[in-house]
Amino acid sequence: MLVTMKEILDRASAGNYAVVAPNVFSELDTRAAIAAAEKLGSPMIIDLSVGSTKDIVVTGHNLVEIAEQTAVPVAVNLDHGGDVHKSFEEVTTEIMCAIKAGFTSVMVDRSSLPYEENVKETAILAKIAHSMGVTVESELGHVGSGSNYAEDGASMYTDPALAKDFVDRTGIDCLAVAVGTAHGVYTSTPKLDYDRIKAIKKKVGGLPLVIHGSSGVSHEDLHQASTVGINKVNMGFDFMDHIVKDLAKRDFSGANAYNIWQYIQEAYMEKALEMIKCLGSDGKTWKVERVDCTAASKLLGAGGEG
């Protein structure tokens, strides 16, 4: 059942567990992730970024339709809506397109801007999204690249006191924090700052926290993070890497080549099952009353026409 991400993360925060948010590209991986969630009775968050599709409205609308038919709570989230190279107007358009498509959550990412600009623009967009019943995630601190992990260092980590100010002034529903992870492939072993996670969690009054760049982080570290304040774990590369390694072991001679899509889906689901258990969201589903989470998209005139 389609729900808002706030519903999922508020429960996760209260229950001291996290929900994996796979970075998807298509209906294929979305169905695999949801199948894993249904098998283990877990909520699921589907993350789709602007850069992963040619048309965020068409693709997003398709994923929302899939989520509406599921037996477990599923949120569809716009990942990294906006970057430093885009104007405020361009970012606003991206986010409105996602809402039009029926996304139940959007990430307003203006973290590369000077702090006051980040606060101002995030607060405006959060107010717009909230007026349509859409959850808002935002980022504070800098989650850099795994290839520059050693160089970026702790100087880019989220400051707990600043996190409180940011949350208070923007009214966001969940905060992505920089606590030791990075996007992409790591050149050195990542180390999560658990004390910082705890301090941020306390400062923001228990608001759900998010980590990006979780691929390459050990299961032990991710599980520990889920027990001390992290409630959403974004992951992309590890899913792709798992598929590639699985396919490398397959026999594609003759008619077996026709099974490639089945193999991809099975491998993706296998990784999703693994992460659901790791983060402790298995068995955390709940009965969802059918509510219209797409009212905003209908108001904006979405119909999936493209």
Please indicate if the annotation marks 109 as binding a ligand. yes
79 annotated active-site: yes
Stronger pLDDT, 294 or 145, i.e. the higher one: 294
Task: Report pLDDT digits (tens) over 3-14.
Answer: 999 999 999 999
Cross-strand partners of 305: none
Annotated binding residue 193: no
Q: Whole-angstrom Cα distance, residue 160 to residue 69?
A: 39
> Distance from first CA to last CA of the chain, Å, rounded?
24
CA distance 233 to 22: 8
**Residue 84 has what pLDDT?**
67
Q: Is 219 among the annotated ligand-binding positions?
A: no
pLDDT of residue 82: 72
Report yes or no: 5 and 77 within 8 Å, Cβ to Cβ: yes
**Domains of the chain from N-terminus onward:** 5-288 (3.20.20.70)
Query: Alpha-carbon distance 176 to 107, whole Å?
Result: 9
Query: 65 labelled as ligand-binding?
Result: no
State pLDDT tens for residues 204-233.
999 999 999 888 899 999 999 999 999 999
Query: How high is the mean pLDDT of the chain?
Result: 90
- pLDDT > 50? residue 145: no
How much is the average pLDDT of 141-158? 59
At 254, is the pLDDT very low, low, confident or very high (cuts 50, 70, 90)? Answer: confident
Structure confidence at residue 81 (pLDDT) = 83
User: What value does the CA radius of gyration of the chain take, rounded to a whole number of Å?
Assistant: 18
Q: Among the options 47, 79, 159, 193, which is catalytic?
A: 79
Q: How confident is the model at residue 149 (pLDDT cuts 50, 70, 90)?
A: very low
Lowest-confidence pick of 35-44, 196-205, 286-295: 286-295
Q: Is the pLDDT of residue 36 over 90?
A: yes
The answer to the question of whether 242 is labelled as a binding residue is no
Q: pTM, whole model, 2 decimals?
A: 0.90
